[in-house]
Copies of this chain bind each other. A is one copy, B any other.
Amino acid sequence: MVNRKLYENSLDPFFDPQTIAVIGSLKEKLFGGYVAIRSLIKAGFKGEIYPVNPSYREINGLKVYPSIKDVPQKIDLVLIITGARSVPGILRECVEKGVRAAIVVSDGFAERDDEGRKLQEEIIAIAKQGNLRIIGPNTAGIANPSKGLIPNPYEMGYEKVKEGAIAICAQTGMVNPQAFPYGDLGYGVSKICDFGNKCDVDECDMMEYLEEDPSTKAITLYLENIKDGKRFLKVSKRVASRKPVLILKSGRTEQGAHVSTSHTGSLAQDDRIFDAACKQSGVIRLDTFRELFELPKIFTHSSLPKGNRLGIITFTGGVGVLAIDEGAKYGLTVPLLSSKTRKRLDAIFPGLGNRIVDIGPPMAVVNNYMSFYSEILKIVTTDPNIDSVFNVIWTGPSGEFMESYLKIYRGLQGNQKPIASWIYGPRLDYTYEMARQLEELGFPVFSDIEMAIKALGLASQYAKAKGGD
| Chain B residue with the shortest CB-CB distance to A155 | B397
Q: Does A184 touch B at the CB level, under 8 Å? A: yes
A174-B397 in contact (CB<8A): no
| Chain B residue with the shortest CB-CB distance to A184 | B428
> Considering the complex, which residues of chain A in the window 432-455 have a beta carbon less than 8 Å from any beta carbon of chain B?
432, 447-450
* This protein's copies in its complex: 2
| A450-B288 contact given A320-B263, A328-B256, A334-B255, CB 8 Å threshold | yes
Q: Give, as a whole number of angstroms, the nearest-CB distance from A348 to chain B.
A: 17
Q: Does A356 touch B at the CB level, under 8 Å? A: yes
Q: Give, as a whole number of angstroms, the nearest-CB distance from A216 to chain B.
A: 22
| A157-B31 contact given A178-B397, A320-B259, CB 8 Å threshold | no
B253-A288 in contact (CB<8A): no
Q: Does A316 touch B at the CB level, under 8 Å? A: yes
Interface size class on chain A is 35 or more
Q: Give, as a whole number of angstroms, the nearest-CB distance from A19 to chain B.
A: 27
A31 — which chain B residues lie within 8 A by C-beta? 364
A155 — which chain B residues lie within 8 A by C-beta? 396-398
Contact with B along A141-170 (1 / 0, CB 8 A): 000000000000011111000000000001
A364 — which chain B residues lie within 8 A by C-beta? 31, 107
CA distance A174 to B321 in the complex (A): 13
- Which segment, of A96-104, A123-131, A419-427, faces chain B? A419-427
Q: Give, as a whole number of angstroms, the nearest-CB distance from A43 to chain B.
A: 14
CA distance A183 to B425 in the complex (A): 11
Q: Does A468 touch B at the CB level, under 8 Å? A: no
Q: Does A431 touch B at the CB level, under 8 Å? A: yes
A250 — which chain B residues lie within 8 A by C-beta? 318, 321-322, 325
Q: Give, as a whole number of angstroms, the nearest-CB distance from A133 to chain B.
A: 23
| A156-B426 contact given A179-B394, A397-B30, CB 8 Å threshold | yes
Q: Does A93 touch B at the CB level, under 8 Å? A: no
Q: Give, as a whole number of angstroms, the nearest-CB distance from A397 to chain B.
A: 3
| A316-B173 contact given A355-B259, A396-B157, CB 8 Å threshold | yes
> Considering the complex, which residues of chain A in the window 5-50 have a beta carbon less than 8 Å from any beta carbon of chain B?
30-31
Cβ 8 A contact of A450, one of B287, B361, B396, B450: B287
Q: Does A317 touch B at the CB level, under 8 Å? A: yes
Q: Give, as a whole number of angstroms, the nearest-CB distance from A361 to chain B.
A: 7
